[in-house]
Structure 1
Amino acid sequence: MFVHVVTLLCVLGAQAVELHRVGHTTSTVARPAPVVQCVCSSIPNQTLCSWAEPPQATPLHYIATYSERQRQAETRPCVLIPPGDPHSQLNVTLPPSARELWHCHLPEMKLLTDYIMNVTAVYPGGSSSHLSTFMMEDIVKPDAPESMQVSCLNPGTVLVQWEPPSTWAHRDIFPLKYELLYQWRSRGQIRSNHLKSFPDSRTSLKGFARGRTYQLQVCAKDALGLGHCSDWSAPVNITLPL
């Protein structure tokens, strides 16, 4: 029996950040590391790092910590949320697709700050870790807008309205803007139009053809330009009258 360690380093500026470490006490049993992804759905207190249970083996438990990159000695524990937990005590709401994952809640994150996240899966006789570094500005991703409705105002014009994502808590300080995507079928081909930078949660669109069916979706993005717009609402169809 011996200890085997594999380390990968990512050099950022003059400082190296360790990205992955695997350590185990046998040469025959693999210790899969969790694959971790961090997302901030509302600035500053809705940052979650998430991962699935490794399919090859079930860890005894997880250890999750994080720290500011410039203050690595001040490591803080991350609040673990097991799969299926109601999360009510943390005031965190998860979509159904994410409820089978492990989550780690990072409260009160700071802007313009590098963070290092460490999630370690502990196995009998060994462990495997995933380390990552990120800034909150890079992982901001508002949840999808809600309660989208589409109606016909007059021939060729539709009214689209929706509610901001309920998880985005500080719209007065960090306002949102929206992108619209609508698609239709013409001569057997799917056509689309992607419209960006809507400041309000309703708008009217012109140029829609009579008798044609359109599918519309909306996505939210932080108005300051942080993060990404990638979580689209459920599609809504409308067929314009002839």
Structure 2
Amino acid sequence: MFTCKVCIAGSDKVTSHGNGTILTAPSGENRTDLDPPSRLEVHCWSPSYPFKVLCSWLELPQTQLVTHYIVTYSVKGGEIQQCHPHPVSMASLSIPESSLPRENNSSARTMWRCVLEDLKLYTSYQLNVTAVNTAGSASHLQLFTLEDIVKPDPPVNVTVQVVPGKLKLLVKWDPPPSWSDHTLFPLMYKVRYQWENKGVSHAITLDPFENTQKVLPGLSPGRSYLVQVCSMEHMGMGQSSNWSPPVTVTMP
């Protein structure tokens, strides 16, 4: 059934119909800032397997209609649970840049996050994030298991020192604080290093039970190196973390 309703809002004409709402200015141009919400792009990952999952999305472009979000998740055929999203600062996110929409104004928009806890291992969940305003709604549906979306945070406190009298570097770091259980679910680490200005990068993967340090041998005198470390779940579940910020050191 198609319905249409026309009214006047100030000097603009508002037309509501089954497909949405159009605001027409006196010049005859249609305004789209009263449309229903557009489709969300939601990214979910587990930085502290198996204890919690974070789901984030970028706030929809500003319109004259207030938009709110409804988040639910459930096991197939199970009880539907609700998660209450909250805004977070972009600086606090460990989400990879490639997962963010490539828009010129994305940095000026708010990121929203929901925390899902007490999830079961090796179980498929369905997530539903719905954006709602008075003109309509748009939903994002996503299926996931914890094991597929494991993604630790990067290691912290990375330091690099020249080994005295040697063409070697000693790299040390601390595990990501967000990873909750290093006994049952140890992490592996990968160290990447390369010349500062050019050159092919080299990566060394450490055994999960090695200490959080590594000696890099066979380096060139007088060269500056960039060194980074990432972490990954020891069984290879999910993805590696983002690389830590690069540390620069110059060989004598």
Could you state the TM-score of these two structures normalised by the residue count of structure 2?
A: 0.75
Which of 60, 67, 71 is 1:54 aligned to? 60
- SS of equivalent to 1:112: coil
Residue in 1 aligned with 2:149? 139
Question: Over aligned residue pairs, what C-alpha RMSD do you find?
Answer: 2.6
Instruction: Determine the C-alpha separation between the residues in 2 that align with 1:79 and 1:45.
Output: 17
Counterpart amino acid of 2:120?
K
- SS of equivalent to 2:241: coil
Instruction: Determine the C-alpha separation between the residues in 1 that align with 2:2 and 2:121.
Output: 43
- SS of equivalent to 2:20: coil
Which of 18, 21, 35 is 2:41 aligned to? 35
Instruction: Determine the C-alpha separation between the residues in 1 that align with 2:138 and 2:56.
Output: 16
Which of 192, 214, 222 is 1:211 aligned to? 222
Note if contact 1:184-1:212 (Cα within 8 Å) is conserved in structure 2: yes
- SS of equivalent to 1:32: coil
Which runs of no fewer than 5 residues in structure 1 stay unpaired?
A: 4-23, 86-92
Aligned length: 210
Note if contact 1:2-1:26 (Cα within 8 Å) is conserved in structure 2: no
* 1:63-98 deviations in Å (ceiling 9; x for gaps): 0000113x2x4110013222359xxxxxxx944889
- SS of equivalent to 2:200: strand
Percent identical residues: 39
| Structure showing the higher strand proportion among its residues | 1
Instruction: Determine the C-alpha separation between the residues in 2 that align with 1:181 and 1:65.
Output: 39
Instruction: Determine the C-alpha separation between the residues in 2 that align with 1:40 and 1:208.
Output: 36
Is residue 170 of structure 2 the alignment partner of residue 159 of structure 1? yes
- SS of equivalent to 2:61: coil
Residue in 2 aligned with 1:26? 20
- SS of equivalent to 1:129: strand
Residue in 1 aligned with 2:232? 221
Instruction: Determine the C-alpha separation between the residues in 2 that align with 1:59 and 1:169.
Output: 37
Shift, 1:225, TM fit:
1.5
Note if contact 1:146-1:162 (Cα within 8 Å) is conserved in structure 2: yes
Shift, 1:27, TM fit:
6.5
Counterpart amino acid of 1:127?
S
Which of 71, 74, 83 is 1:78 aligned to? 83
Which of 52, 67, 71 is 1:64 aligned to? 71
Instruction: Determine the C-alpha separation between the residues in 2 that align with 1:223 and 1:97.
Output: 21
- SS of equivalent to 1:82: strand
Could you state the TM-score of these two structures normalised by the residue count of structure 1?
A: 0.78
Shift, 1:46, TM fit:
2.7
Residue in 1 aligned with 2:7? none
Note if contact 1:144-1:233 (Cα within 8 Å) is conserved in structure 2: yes
Instruction: Determine the C-alpha separation between the residues in 2 that align with 1:94 and 1:108.
Output: 23
**Higher-Rg member (1/2):** 2
Is residue 200 of structure 2 the alignment partner of residue 191 of structure 1? yes
Instruction: Determine the C-alpha separation between the residues in 2 that align with 1:203 and 1:84.
Output: 34
Which runs of no fewer than 5 residues in structure 2 stay unpaired?
A: 4-17, 23-34, 97-108
Instruction: Determine the C-alpha separation between the residues in 2 that align with 1:43 and 1:109.
Output: 10
Greater alpha carbon shift after TM alignment, 96-105 vs 27-36:
96-105
* 1:163-194 deviations in Å (ceiling 9; x for gaps): 00000011111100101111115xx7432102
Shift, 1:56, TM fit:
5.4
4+ runs of 1 displaced by more than 3 Å?
Answer: 56-59, 93-100
Is residue 194 of structure 2 the alignment partner of residue 180 of structure 1? no
- SS of equivalent to 1:190: coil
